Amino acid sequence: MKNFYKPFLTFLFLLTFLIFPQSFLPSYKPFDPTSIPLKPIEEVILNKMTIEQKVGQLFIFGFDGTTINTQTKQFFQDTHLGGVLLLGKNITTEKQLKQLTNQIQNTNPIPLLISIDQEGGSVARIKWSKTLTKSQTSISTPQEAYNIALLRGEILKNLGINMNLAPVVEYITNTNSFLSDRVYKGSREEVLQKSISSIEGYTQAEIIPVPKHYPGHANSSPDSHYNLPVVNIKGNQWNEYIEPFSKLLEQTKVNALMVGHIQYPNIDSKPSTISNEILNERLIDNLNYEGIVISDDMEMDALDNIEKHTVIAKQALLAGNDILIYSKFSNKYPTIQKDVYKYIVEEVKNENIDLEILNRKVVKILKVKIEYNLLNPDKLLSDL
């Protein structure tokens, strides 16, 4: 009998397998390629960049001339420059400006930020259009602010410009202030709403707006082109003082913000541009600001006699700035652009600036360039 049961059980097993084969197959799920998290494209680009290329993204430089000559082109390539600032000295006609911006974008594989101070009124680098020269002070309503920014943005984009260092969003009521003819008028709320509308108009036109000058000049502040403004507010006055900026960040998306050279001795002994307290802690951490932090022109006299320009550049980057502007508006420091670039490269290579800090800054910059359609990621990856 024992010999009978063994083949009988084997027969039953084989019969069961033939009738219900799936019961004996190992269970598995087909591979899903989407289950692997992909890195954001800006990080993929970052990983292909050299330290020299990364550091270049941290600078916006001004230059001489209305064309890009061989020497200027070579300098842009040597520094892997991330952006330029156009001043009145670079602009003559619409045709010339279009040719210039095209030349600029043909210098480096990573498209450049081409920025301009086109606030309107007294600060207007392009003069041939009423839309481009209309002052902030003459704008009556938020809707008008939006319309002007949208139309102005479309004109700038057509000229090859992609960033406007505007609007000025500070609340200034003193008619003797150097900013009086550069700001919106009205109540605090009216100024805020005009600022928001302007930012949204520029963004709609695919121009990166850069509201300025955080944390804000006071009514009596001198022009930081010539002197360092000192604002003696107390610590308990800070939140109210920065409302033009804190409320702006609460109520609209800000991709880039300019920092003014201003000292608040009761907050920090250092000017805001190189203050870790004012930038990293109060702006980035406390206000949860995730956009690009851009310095005002680092060649202004407000920063003179504090430290060597190379050291100030490092301090400004470590304090929270992502991009530093060197406008080359005078011949006072003829080699400053080359000097600060080379110094920051060496400080990164010598590990005096953490590579991770550099990477975070570059990722933010690349992210904004992608968001505003300034670069084609696939093309750039093949060019790097």
User: What number of other Cβ atoms are within 10 A of residue 171's Cβ?
Assistant: 22
Task: Give the E-state strand segments of the chain in sequence order.
Answer: 59-61, 83-86, 113-116, 118-120, 123-124, 163-164, 208-209, 256-259, 263-264, 268-271, 292-297, 323-326
Find the angle CA(32)-CA(34)-CA(35) to the nearest 5 degrees.
Answer: 70
Higher pLDDT, residue 141 or 14: 141
Least confident of 67-76, 323-332, 375-384: 375-384
Rounded to two decimals, the pTM is 0.90
The pLDDT assigned to 10 comes to 61
Task: Give the E-state strand segments of 55-150 in sequence order.
Answer: 59-61, 83-86, 113-116, 118-120, 123-124
The pLDDT assigned to 377 comes to 84
The answer to whether the beta carbons of residues 163 and 207 sit under 8 Å apart is: yes
The pLDDT assigned to 347 comes to 98
**Pairing of β 83-86 and β 113-116:** parallel
- Model confidence pLDDT, tens digit, residues 235-290: 999 999 999 999 999 999 999 999 999 999 999 999 999 999 999 999 999 999 99
DSSP string, 113-135: EEEE-EEETTEES--S-HHHH--
- Model confidence pLDDT, tens digit, residues 95-138: 999 999 999 999 999 999 999 999 999 999 999 999 999 999 99
Assess whether the previous peptide bond of 265 is cis (omega < 30° from 0): no
Give me the chain's average pLDDT, please: 92
**Cα separation, 114 vs 325, whole angstroms:** 12
- Model confidence pLDDT, tens digit, residues 170-226: 999 999 999 999 999 999 999 999 999 999 999 999 999 999 999 999 999 988 888
**CATH code for the structural domain at 59-383:** 3.20.20.300
Radius of gyration of the chain (CA): 27
The answer to whether the beta carbons of residues 202 and 248 sit under 8 Å apart is: no
**Cα separation, 92 vs 111, whole angstroms:** 23
In 3D space, the residue among 259, 364, 341, 263 whose CA is nearest the CA of residue 59 turns out to be: 341
- For the chain, domain boundaries: 59-383
The answer to whether the beta carbons of residues 144 and 108 sit under 8 Å apart is: no
